[in-house]
Homo-oligomer: A and B are copies of this chain.
Amino acid sequence: MSEIILASASPRRKELLLLAGIDFVVKVADVDEVIDPSLTPDGVVMSLAKQKAQAVASENPDSLVIGADTVVVLDGKILGKPKSEENAVELLTMLSGRVHTVYTGVALIKGETVKTFCEATQVEFYPLTDEEIKAYVATKEPMDKAGAYGIQGKGCILIRKIDGDYFNVVGLPVSAVYRELRDFDV
């Protein structure tokens, strides 16, 4: 069996692969993320996941490399990480009381073999008061997260329900990854 490399610096993705009992190492390469504006959200995350995996795979041709990218999409528009605390308040105000979709794209690459897939999970926020939003932003938790929240952290109290894979919202659809790895030629 090949060495498995996670091409992501995300501590949350690392934690999820560990939870699934997968043996791996982390190696991250700098990628100038190129987004084709004609792509739909699932196309964007699969493309970025592939770029991240390929940057590591080119240096490690005998390893199986996992790349991933997660975005939050509301009304067809990708919400990125907040640029400031004010922007975090804006993003959370947009999400309040509404359903959005979290897409995580995954790329598995070994040598010339490339497999990409995407998982989508619907997330419904409670209607939030301005005070709740400000209190949450004051925790700083939103600042490094797509859509300005972490479902696995203090952000848990913002969310009424989800439809899909929970771990996909955290940043990696670990169950699907586990199954694809098992079926991949490793």
Give A residues with C-beta under 8 Å from B: 16, 19-21, 121, 126, 151, 153-154, 156-167, 174-175, 178-179
Contacts and interface: CB of A to CB of B under 8 A. Distances in A.
Specify how many copies of this chain sit in the oligomer: 2
Contact of A19 (B121, B153, B166): B153
B157 A20 contact: yes
A161 B174 CA distance: 11
Contacts of A154: 19-21
Given A126-B179, A179-B126, A160 B165 contact: yes
Contacts of A163: 161-163
B151 A174 contact: no
Contacts of A16: 156
A126 B166 CA distance: 15
A108 to B, nearest CB: 16
B164 A161 contact: yes
